[in-house]
């Protein structure tokens, strides 16, 4: 589990490798990740957009930007939360995701909340000991 708090928004990420949707012989590896967003502040906020930076084991970076998450732009009252699950395919057996969500508060102010960096590790990834 990975967790970050910024601008009174707590974001928790739980990634999971999905072997039944992966095919290592074809360089296809798939993860699901569940994200919980909690408004720890005193103002109502709305998640407007997302920005992901996905890096595979070869160091190739893919950036993904878009409105909301899973087709929604949830509104979170103080103490409110929103949870969703999405997925990430890679052509390597491991990678890293990190990003931000852009929110707007009830006064119209925009801010970005940090999504913690999280590791995408499969049983097929080479283990390195330092």
Q: Per residue in 77-93, pLDDT tens?
A: 999 999 999 999 999 99
Residue-wise pLDDT tens digits, 12-63:
999 999 999 999 999 999 999 999 999 999 999 999 999 999 999 999 999 9
Q: Global pTM?
A: 0.92
Per-residue DSSP letters for 93-121?
A: SEEEEEEEEEEEETTS-EEEEEEEEEEEE
> Tokens representing 8?
């009174």
Residue extents of the structural domains in the chain: 2-121
- Check residue 127 and give its pLDDT: 61
Domain covering 2-121 assigned CATH 2.40.50.140 in the classification:
no
pLDDT band at 124; cut points 50, 70, 90? confident
pLDDT of 126 over the 70 cut: no
| 100-122: average pLDDT | 97
Determine the 3-state secondary structure of 21 from DSSP. helix
In this prediction, residue 123 has a pLDDT band, given cuts at 50, 70 and 90, of confident
Confidence category of residue 103, pLDDT binned at 50, 70, 90: very high
Residue 130, pLDDT > 60, answer: no
Question: Is it the case that residue 128 has pLDDT exceeding 90?
Answer: no
How do 81-90 and 61-67 pair as beta strands? unpaired
């Amino acid at each position: 589990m990975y967790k970050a708090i910024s601008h009174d928004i707590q974001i928790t990420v739980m990634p999971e490798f999905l072997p039944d949707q992966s095919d290592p012989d074809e360089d296809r590896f798939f993860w699901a990740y569940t994200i919980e967003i909690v408004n720890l502040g005193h103002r109502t906020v709305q998640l407007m957009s997302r920005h992901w930076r996905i890096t595979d084991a070869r160091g190739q970076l893919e950036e993904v930007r878009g409105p909301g998450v899973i087709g929604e732009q949830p509104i979170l009252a103080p103490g409110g939360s929103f949870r969703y699950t999405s997925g990430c395919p890679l052509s390597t057996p491991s990678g890293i995701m990190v990003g931000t969500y852009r929110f707007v508060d009830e006064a119209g102010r925009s801010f970005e909340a940090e999504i913690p960096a999280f590791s995408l590790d499969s049983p097929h990834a080479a283990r390195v000991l330092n």
